[in-house]
Structure 1
Amino acid sequence: MASPSYDGILLGMGNPLLDISAVVDDEFLHKYDIKLNNAILAEDKHKSMYDEMSNKFNVEYIAGGATQNSIKVAQWMLQIPGATSYMGCIGKDKYGEEMKKNSTAAGVNVHYYEDENTPTGTCAVCVVGGERSLVANLAAANCYKSEHLKRPENWALVEKAKYYYIAGFFLTVSPDSIQLVAEHAAANNKVFTMNLSAPFICEFFRDPQEKALPYVDILFGNETEARTFSKVHGWETDNVEEIAKKICEWPKVTGRKRITVITQGADPVCVAEDGKVQLFPVILLPKEKLVDTNGAGDAFVGGFLSQLVQEKPIAECVKAGCYAANVIIQRSGCTYPEKPDFH
């Protein structure tokens, strides 16, 4: 069991998806109009791609979804059973069972809402030259309801946690659940963290994103998402450091100052806090060691959070994030060895 102080300290909520991951070719990307290094929601034109991937390429099935990835990595880094919990919606099917088995084996305390009528969500992870592109078919993940969150056994997880992480993708599903957790965090002086997650979230889910932002103590994102956020808000700057500072200045409901953490692939991680910016170099990896970038951003967040819940300084959190991301990009999908080797 977790030591009392770490029991359920970190709670994640998001869209649990079973990753269907494969190395594909340019022709496949072109056929389904998929851009590299992007994350989109599946449309009608993508319906047949999941089966085609399974038939045509060598696929792996890995329990994923952005928030769940981050929580699993944080759990792996902490090596304290039961330190993390997670909620989201799955279907009552074989993919859902696979997800439960996988996450429980990872040591995460999962409380899934199970939808009787909708299949478990899937995410096609198309890898070309080590770069990944994601096409998510949310299915059951889209059916999460705040009623599940309000059930006593689930709300108990919210009350027990001191840190929360929700990827921006969940804004498309249950913004009211996000508000409930955000308001609880603010009222109880707990730490609420989110992620920009994808350019389309900044563009098309601007209202729920802006409603959640005043509660966010730490906001994560990558350089593309940050630039899209800047464009959407008419800031007229592409400079990631400037954007990170401006995000910190966004109004806030509590007295705690916001920290903005922007990853930039192989370029340094940009951390803005209190009007200042610090840059932290990432661990560079020779090209031949790169397997795929799927889960790199999620792993960074997981590593970061694993130190944050131990109240380590931000520099240490970033180091742990870079370590975790470096481990994950040398493996297929968001997977990791049995034990971390982070000092």
Structure 2
Amino acid sequence: MTEATFDVVAIGNAIVDILAQADDAFIQEQGMTKGSMQLMFSPADADALYAKMGPGREVSGGSAANTVAGIAALGGRCGFIGQVADDQLGQVFAHDIRAAGIRYNTAVRAGEPTTARCLIFVTPDGQRTMNTFLGASQFLPEAALDRELIASGAILYLEGYLWDPEEPRRAMRAAIDIARGAGRRVAFTLSDVFCINRHGDDFRKLMADGLIDILFANENELLALCQTEDFEAAVERAAGQVPLVVVTRSEKGAIAVKGGQRFAVAAEPIERVVDTTGAGDLFAAGFLHGQAQGHGVETSLKLGALCAAEIISHYGARPEADLKTLAAEKLG
């Protein structure tokens, strides 16, 4: 096995987030489920909801893209594969991810639909409710994969959100084969309960077939995946199939299980939760960076908690503070 030249290579939706504040009444009036993500299947629906938004701000997003942005901010070497359209939002996304020092060479897609966008409504308690139009990202073909990039990453990181459309699902299956053929580890995040409701059988088969080395989930996602309401039973079931299971539990911190040994970390204290968008993405960033640098599970969990705390202290899912300095101060 050749030495990896990248720490993490991620495949995911290339999305531009548009964030605005909203109250609980608005969330209910629009028929949204607070704190969750729902898909919009037409640009007309996205335009109609966008027209109802208050003043917003545009920030490049996408779950896996947020994660590699966090890793890059920590000093890691990253690549990203995700598709945008040949439009203004596509240019915004490409500029932002390259400016973060991330290798990004995926060709743009001509014509309709537009670049993916996620309309995010943040309530006063910091909860984010997301409405995503996947646009060009949902047509990522296997032909767009940078095979050399995938094979050169120590860890391949995949997001469950992108499993929903058929074309990128095939691309990610191919990417798993490339990574495992090169002797690399594969990490997978379940992303959202709705992904599990639609594709849980696929995810469980990936685990049963031994294709996932690191699994990321929050508490609700793990329960849905393991089809139980017993958290401890779910942890035991997942850990029996995946070498390293990482579960975030909001204010209760996070746990990880590796080789039958359980580790835990408390949530990092902050003055005020402003926006929970990207909390799981940045937790994964800290954890994966720790793993790529050869740190143990406990240190990786601490890095995850630190990055998650930074991201929920402000709007948007890309780091604003110097994560490298914060990590040095926290961990020495």
Q: TM-score normalized by structure 2?
A: 0.90
CA drift at 1:268: 2.6
1:273 corresponding residue in structure 2: 258
Q: Deviations over 1:161-206 (max 9, x none)?
A: 1211111112113222222222233333211100111101111112
Structure 2 SS opposite 1:271:
strand
Contact 2:147–2:178 under 8 Å retained in 1: no
* Offset of residue 90 of structure 1: 0.5
Equivalent-residue separation in structure 1 for 2:297 and 2:261 (angstroms): 13
Does the Cα contact within 8 Å between 2:246 and 2:254 map onto a contact in 1? yes
> Is 1:192–1:217's contact at 8 Å kept on the other side of the alignment?
yes
| Structure 1 residue 323: Cα displacement | 0.4
Alpha-carbon displacement from aligned partner over 1:96-124 (angstroms, at most 9, x marks no partner): 00111111111111122311122000001
The separation in 2 between residues aligned to 1:126 and 1:324, in whole angstroms, is: 22
**TM-align CA RMSD:** 1.9
2:52 is matched with 52
Which of 255, 265, 276 is the equivalent residue of 1:293?
A: 276
Name which of 152, 155, 176 aligns with 1:160: 152
2:211 counterpart of 1:228: no
- Counterpart Cα distance in 1 of 2:33 and 2:256: 28
Match of 2:230 among 206, 227, 239: 239
Q: What is the alpha-carbon distance in structure 1 between the residues aligned to residue 205 and residue 175 of structure 2?
A: 13
The answer to whether the 8 Å contact 2:85/2:109 transfers is yes
Deviation at 1:5, TM superposition (A): 6.7
Are 2:69 and 2:318, in contact at CA under 8 Å, matched by a contact in 1? no
Equivalent residue of 1:201, what SS?
Answer: helix
Distance 2:217 2:321 in 1: 27
* Structure 1 residue 338 displacement after superposition: 5.2
1:122-162 CA-to-partner distances (Å, cap 9, x unmatched) read: 0011100211111110011111000111xxxx211012112
Q: How many residues align?
A: 317
1:261 and 2:246 aligned? yes
Q: 2:182 aligns with which of 174, 181, 188?
A: 188
Equivalences for 1:292-311 in 2 at 5 Å? 292-311=275-294
- Structure 2 contact 265–305 (Cα < 8 Å) conserved: no
Match of 1:17 in 2: 15
Q: Normalized against structure 1, the TM-score is what? A: 0.87
Unaligned runs of 5+ in 1: 232-236, 251-256
For residues 97 and 116 of structure 1, the distance between their equivalents in structure 2, rounded to whole angstroms, comes to 13
> What's the counterpart of residue 121 of structure 2?
126
Distance 1:212 1:124 in 2: 31
- Segments of 5+ residues of structure 2 without an aligned counterpart are none
Q: Distance in 1 between matches of 2:22 and 2:164?
A: 28
Moved more, 91-100 or 188-197: 188-197
- The answer to whether the aligner puts 1:93 opposite 2:98 as a matched pair is no
SS in 1 for 2:226: helix
Equivalent of 1:284 in 253, 269, 283: 269
Q: How much does 1:307 deviate?
A: 1.3
1:37 aligns with 2:29: no
Contact 1:91–1:115 (8 Å) recurs in 2: yes
* Code of the aligned partner of 2:121: C
Bigger drift between 188-197 and 277-286 goes to: 277-286
The aligned residue for residue 254 of structure 1 is none
The Cα shift of 1:281 comes to: 1.1
**CA distance in structure 1 between the aligned counterparts of 2:182 and 2:205, rounded to whole angstroms:** 19
AA paired with 2:106?
Y
* Aligned counterparts of 2:201 and 2:226: Cα–Cα separation in 1: 15
- Contact 1:21/1:125 (8 A) holds in 2: yes
The superposition leaves residues 74-94 of structure 1 with CA deviations (integer Å, 9 ceiling, x where unpaired) of 11012x5xx100001101000
